């Protein structure tokens, strides 16, 4: 979909939203000459691979291939569509948004889903205080949830009726198609007739709100112990559960750089009610890299507060592993067996939970404490096996300071020399380095192919194809006059990758029309994921000689590949396709 924002508006939008300023509000950037680098907000990493290019007003991550300009950054960071992202930046700059003659159908759908969710949340909350919601209100009050917390979290009641929400939202003008897309309704076929009914029935409702204040989904809980205990919104045009966190819209404000990560809605509400307003929770799935990345945008430290059973320990170990790839510090709250935060606050008060917070262990201490339980430290063999396991933990997770501190602690605990502990860690380092070097070349190729997996169409395995397309396009972007000089030699047909075929068509059209080809003019034509590939073309790390000879060499590579793939079955080529390829081949001779 090509959006109707003219270049003059986009120029002003870019001028008033300098990319360093926009991204710098959410990512800590460090200047390195003409560029800036930081930890990528779109994947987990310890070493910065996220690069901002003020000269081209673009960004690119060499770790996950995310890229674009300010609009794309807003789209990816806040999960917005194109028009929503432009509106956000326009409001940030105090600009008025032009009226578009037409709007993207997907954008309209998203806005309709947001509107339907807001109306549903309002109805559910109102029903909680009516006779239809008495059972749900009694349950919440029985769990010690105050009216204040009900208001803060917008809790509600879905009554024991199949069409309450359907009838209400239909009267507000929402179509069945919109309500099914929002997962507020379900449908089934009966006697050749489609029957629609409410997704949530006889349940407590937990609205899920994003960091911008939009109601994006709902969680729900049964009133008894029947299964499934929780029924949640499935993925919709505005919601993907693996990308969001419950209550982050509240916890992100004034959290002093620390978030408490809980397992469920009730834990979060109980903690907020006790004054711990920096608590958040996942949304019915195991913690995901996307959620870890989201947390890292708002916190420098996370305190993991999962149950102490086997499943909880496994989830904690996974969380530590995920956060170890970021710059976020991790602490683990040691909950008593069988207790969750809600139980502790009810039975022992908020001061007891505060004491648990203050006594929480960092990730290394937690790993060591778990490992310690697997060894009999009263025996020499037990001490040796524990020391070897501890050395692995410190080699993988500890810096030089952590190694020194914990080597001293282990020395005192096990009755061995500190130097012996450090030597054991060094042995692990050597072993790990050998393994790393052995697989480095293979891993680099694997990572490159993974990075380019969406850019390599089926049947094309040679990474030279990607490079040839990138270098050719980057040369044309840097030297628009090359397009005329390459006339008859290059066309979109020689490009193998769909996104680069599309990029060439748009860029060449703009050059022919004497229009600018800055990256912001292209963003309305590509998805955020596609913009990553486009952004690579504007990144300064592409090796260019800026010569026609380099372009012609790239064209030769692509023509060779085109002939290999397309002429396998000439009968499937149209007359126009055959003539185009014939003419290009002739021009190359």
Same CATH topology for 7-93 and 105-238: the answer is: no
Looking at the domain that runs over 248-367, which CATH code has it been given? 3.40.1360.10
**The two structure tokens encoding residue 550:** 């380099």
Overall pTM surpassing 0.85 (yes/no): no
So what CATH class is 105-238? alpha beta
Q: How would you list the strands of the sheet with 215-221, edge to edge?
A: 156-158, 203-209, 215-221, 230-232
Query: What's the mean pLDDT in 548-576?
Result: 69
**C-alpha neighbours within 13 Å on the C-beta side of residue 20:** 12
Reply yes or no: is the peptide bond before residue 157 cis, omega within 30 of 0. no
CATH superfamily of 7-93: Zinc finger, CHC2-typedomain (3.90.580.10)
In this predicted structure, the answer to whether residue 65 has a pLDDT above a threshold of 50 is: yes
Q: What is the greatest pairwise CA distance in the chain?
A: 85
pLDDT category, 578, cuts 50, 70, 90? very low
pLDDT higher at 458 or 36: 36
- Cα 367 from Cα 125, distance rounded (Å): 43
Dist. CA 220–CA 133, nearest whole Å: 14
What's residue 572's pLDDT? 45
For 241, residues 6+ apart whose C-beta sits below 8 A from its C-beta are 217, 232, 233, 235, 283, 284, 285
Task: Check pLDDT > 60 for residue 494.
Answer: yes
The C-alpha atoms of residue 274 and residue 522 are separated, in whole angstroms, by 49
Tokens 């409410």, residue?
Answer: 198
**CB atoms < 10 A from the CB of 518, how many?**
19
Residue 171: burial class (beta carbons within 10 Å; 0-12, 13-18, 19+): exposed
How do beta strands 258-262 and 279-281 pair?
A: parallel
Residue 136 has pLDDT above 60, yes or no: yes
Q: Given a cut of 50, is residue 581 above it in pLDDT?
A: no
Contact 531, 523 (CB under 8 A): yes
| Two structure tokens written together for 476 | 């044309």
Provide the token pair at 304.
Answer: 């993991």
> Taking a C-beta distance cutoff of 8 angstroms, is the pair 283, 232 a contact?
yes
pLDDT in tens, 12-64: 999 999 999 999 988 889 999 889 999 898 888 878 889 999 988 999 998 88
Confirm or reject CATH 3.40.50.620 for domain 463-588, answering yes or no.
no
Of 27-36, 196-205, 267-276, 334-343, the range with the lowest mean pLDDT is: 334-343
| pLDDT, average across residues 285-294 | 86
SS3 content of the chain, % helix, strand, coil (to 5): 55, 10, 35
Residue spans of the domains in the chain: they are: 7-93, 105-238, 248-367, 374-444, 463-588
Sheet with 361-362, side-by-side order of all strands = 279-281, 258-262, 301-304, 329-332, 361-362
Tokens 């800055």 found at: 518
Task: Give the pLDDT of residue 573.
Answer: 41
């Amino acid at each position: 979909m090509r959006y109707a924002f003219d270049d003059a508006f986009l120029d002003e939008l870019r001028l008033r939203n300098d990319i360093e300023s926009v991204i710098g509000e959410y990512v800590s950037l460090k200047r390195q000459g003409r560029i800036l680098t930081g930890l990528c907000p779109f994947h987990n990493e310890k070493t910065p691979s996220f690069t901002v290019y003020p000269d081209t007003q673009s960004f690119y991550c060499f770790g996950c291939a995310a890229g674009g300009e300010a609009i794309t950054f807003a789209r990816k960071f806040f999960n917005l569509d194109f028009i929503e992202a432009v509106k956000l930046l326009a409001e940030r700059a105090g600009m008025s948004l032009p009226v578009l003659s037409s709007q993207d159908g997907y954008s309209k759908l998203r806005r309709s889903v947001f509107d339907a969710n807001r109306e549903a949340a309002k109805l559910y909350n109102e029903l909680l205080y009516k006779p239809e919601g008495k059972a749900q209100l009694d349950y919440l009050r029985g769990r010690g949830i105050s009216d204040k917390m009900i208001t803060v979290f917008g809790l509600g009641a879905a009554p024991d009726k199949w069409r309450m929400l359907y009838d209400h939202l239909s009267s507000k003008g929402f179509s069945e198609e919109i309500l099914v897309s929002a997962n507020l309704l379900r449908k089934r076929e009966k006697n050749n007739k489609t029957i629609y009914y409410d997704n949530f029935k006889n349940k407590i409702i937990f609205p899920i709100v994003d960091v911008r204040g939009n109601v994006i989904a709902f969680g729900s809980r049964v009133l008894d112990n029947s299964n499934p205990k929780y029924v949640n919104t499935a993925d919709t045009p505005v919601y993907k559960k693996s990308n969001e966190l419950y209550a982050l819209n509240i916890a992100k404000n004034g959290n002093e750089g620390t978030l408490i990560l809980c397992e469920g809605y009730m834990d979060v509400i109980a903690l907020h009610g006790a004054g711990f307003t920096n608590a958040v929770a996942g949304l019915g799935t195991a913690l995901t890299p996307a959620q870890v990345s989201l947390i890292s945008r708002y916190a420098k430290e996370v305190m993991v507060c999962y149950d102490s059973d086997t499943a909880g320990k496994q989830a904690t170990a996974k969380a530590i592993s995920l956060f170890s790839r970021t710059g976020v510090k991790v602490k683990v709250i040691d909950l008593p067996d069988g207790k969750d935060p809600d139980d502790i606050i009810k039975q022992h008060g908020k001061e007891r939970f505060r004491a648990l917070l203050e006594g929480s262990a960092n990730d290394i201490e937690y790993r060591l404490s778990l490992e310690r339980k697997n060894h009999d430290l009263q025996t020499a063999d037990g001490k040796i096996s524990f020391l070897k396991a501890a050395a692995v933990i410190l080699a993988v997770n500890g810096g030089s300071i952590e190694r020194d501190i914990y080597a001293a602690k282990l020395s005192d605990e096990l009755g061995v020399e500190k130097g012996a502990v450090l030597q054991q860690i060094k042995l692990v380092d050597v072993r790990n380095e050998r393994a790393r070097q052995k697989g480095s070349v293979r891993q680099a190729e694997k990572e490159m192919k993974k990075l380019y997996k969406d850019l390599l169409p089926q049947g094309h395995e040679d990474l030279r194809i990607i490079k040839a397309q990138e270098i050719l396009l980057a040369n044309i972007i840097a030297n628009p006059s090359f397009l005329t000089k390459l006339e008859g030699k290059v066309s979109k047909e020689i490009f193998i990758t769909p996104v680069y075929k599309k990029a060439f068509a748009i860029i060449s059209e703009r050059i022919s029309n004497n229009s600018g080809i800055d990256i912001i003019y292209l963003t309305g034509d590509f998805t955020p994921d596609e913009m990553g590939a486009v952004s690579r073309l504007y990144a300064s790390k592409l090796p260019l000689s800026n010569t026609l000879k380099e372009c012609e060499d790239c064209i030769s590579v692509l023509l060779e590949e085109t002939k290999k793939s397309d002429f396998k079955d000439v009968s499937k080529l149209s007359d126009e396709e055959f003539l185009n390829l014939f003419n290009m081949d002739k021009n190359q001779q």
